[in-house]
Amino acid sequence: MRKLCNLLVGLSLTICLAGMSSASPRLVAPAQERNEAKDLQSQTKITMDDARATALKRAPGKVESGELEREHGRLVYSFDIRNSKGTITEVQVSAITGRIVRVEHENKKQEAAEKRAEGRKSHRQH
């Protein structure tokens, strides 16, 4: 009986520890993201505010989101700007030169698909 009890306690501890170790990467991910963001920020030559002003000149409207990212090998500030018609234009500004490197107009269907993809991405990270 005592051996059975010890076995059950040991098994319970193993299960608990396994559950904790699978949760650990989720706790580490935000710290890794912060370190990656700091690393990207240290490589920029212009500020996000300057990039935002440049993007708004190209696509007037309300900035709904903005981020610093590496896309297609370029370090860019990417802004989603909603115009007066309600559609979104994504404007990417080089974080090195301050020049616009890409402009993409999204229709409602593309916007909905992007939101779903972002939702899945953030769900996996949490």
Read off the CATH number of the domain in which 120 is found.
3.10.450.40
Structurally, the chain folds into a number of domains equal to 1
Say which residue, 3 or 17, is predicted with more confidence. 3
Pairing of strands 74-82, 88-94: antiparallel
Mention every residue, 6+ apart, whose C-beta is less than 8 A from residue 45. 95, 96, 97, 98
Angstrom CA distances, 32 to 3, 47, 88, 95, 119, stand at 44, 22, 30, 21, 20
Let me know if residue 26 belongs to a domain: no
Domain that residue 107 falls in: 44-125
> First vs last Cα of the chain: how many Å apart?
42
Let me know if residue 32 belongs to a domain: no
Over residues 40-76, the pLDDT tens digits come to: 888 999 999 999 999 999 999 999 999 999 998 999 9
Let me know if residue 102 belongs to a domain: yes
Let me know if residue 38 belongs to a domain: no
Let me know if residue 24 belongs to a domain: no
Let me know if residue 110 belongs to a domain: yes
Mapped onto helix, strand or coil, the DSSP state of residue 103 is: strand
pLDDT above 50 (res 100): yes
CA distance 95 to 48: 8
pLDDT at 104: 94
